[in-house]
Amino acid sequence: MADSKKAKQNHEEENPFEEMIKRLDVAAKIMKLDSEVYEIMKKPSKLVYCSMPVKMDNDKTKVFEGFRVVHSTALGPSKGGVRYSTYVNENEVMALAAWMTFKCAVADIPYGGAKGGITCDPSTMSKGELERLTRAYTNAMVDVFGVDKDIPAPDMNTGPQEMAWIVDEYSKLKGGFTPGVVTGKPIHLGGSLGRSEATGRGVMTATMEAMAKMGLNPAKCRAAVQGFGNVGSITAKHYEAKGLKIVAISDHTAAFYNPDGIDIEKAIKYRNSNKGVIKGFKGGKLISNEELLTLNVDVLAPCAMENQITDENAGKIKAKLIVEGANVPNY
């Protein structure tokens, strides 16, 4: 599949910060946003860049670059994920931080928006290297982070382990155990029960609310779910539990269609025993990802990367309801 190549292309061709500004402009016009407030919203409150020399396992020092953007703390301490990826750059992080501000505000929770990241390819790094990099990043951002200032969370390629390293390093630097400095930490460090399923459950909840408004009966509807990671697979599981028939699933290795409904539990088991991917799954017919998006379904849930629906394919989508699961805020 060309998914990752496409994603890279997207990263190269687009400026996510300018994209954000464009949509903010539309919203500002509709809501007649005060021009002074608008000027404040357009720019991140703070951006911190750091370079981090890290000793690699081969005893050579490699210099990584990291970012943390606090877009706004007007409603409370800022929240937002930290992602590890070769695509991480200033514009992306600035855009995502702004989106976090808007999402927290729309959800009316007392937090501002932030986002961070390190430009690296974690798939090529050892656990020791990732630990040293994460600790270096925490050192560089020790004055940015804080229970009452800015609270990181897992994001692309980071999870409970990275958060645990941040807690440990931050606590060392501050002289006391401070688990509240991140969310998404391991349960035994004070993490929240239910967090790992939270995004998928949220997609389901939003879907149910929308279907009720639209007068759609879940028991009579068919759904396609793009992406089968933490968000997509949980979404599919919850859809199924609500009576929806899941006729298509996909990940970056394969997409499957089954008009009689895919057995999600089986698919999850297969993935878990197959290095985390569904390639080779026998519960449906192989289709392309593009076909999945344009299937004749009632509900389409894109739960992979952002920007999957484009000018090109938008007109071909047949779903009555699209519920975006890819760009959900990491809190």
Rule CB under 8 A: which of 149-188 touch its own copies? 149, 171-173, 175-178, 188
Per CB under 8 A, which region of 49-57, 159-167, 300-308, 310-318 contacts its own copies?
Answer: 49-57
Which residue in the list 115, 185, 237, 245 is annotated as catalytic? Answer: 115
Q: Where are the beta strands (DSSP E) in the chain?
A: 46-55, 61-72, 78-85, 112-119, 150-154, 222-226, 245-250, 255-257, 285-287, 299-302, 321-322
Binding mask 100-139 for its own copies (x = CB under 8 A): ----------x----------------------------x
Placement of tokens 């501000």 in the chain: 101
Interface residue with its own copies, options 12, 31, 32, 36 (CB under 8 A): 36
End-to-end alpha-carbon separation of the chain, Å? 30
Q: What is the closest distance, in whole angstroms, from the C-beta atom of residue 291 to its own copies in the complex?
A: 44
> Which residues lie below 8 Å from residue 2, measured CB to CB, with a gap of 6+?
none
Binding mask 216-235 for its own copies (x = CB under 8 A): --------------------
CA distance 87 to 54: 19
Q: What is the closest distance, in whole angstroms, from the C-beta atom of residue 126 to its own copies in the complex?
A: 11
With vertex at residue 256, the alpha carbon angle to CA 154 and CA 250, rounded to the nearest 5 degrees, is: 15
**How many residues in the shown chain lie near its own copies by CB under 8 A?**
42
CA distance 278 to 266: 11
What's the Cα-to-Cα distance from 115 to each of 16, 79, 155, 264, rounded to whole Å?
13, 7, 9, 32
| 55 included as an active-site residue | no
Residue 143 as a binder of its own copies (CB under 8 A): the answer is yes
- Contact predicate 276/252, CB 8 Å: no
In one-letter notation, the amino acid at residue 6 is K
Interface residue with its own copies, options 25, 148, 265, 290 (CB under 8 A): 148
Interface residue with its own copies, options 20, 21, 44, 97 (CB under 8 A): 44
Would you name the residues annotated as active-site residues?
115
Instruction: By CB under 8 A, name the binding residues for its own copies.
Output: 36, 39-40, 42-51, 53, 60-63, 65, 73, 75-77, 110, 139-140, 142-144, 146-149, 171-173, 175-178, 188, 190
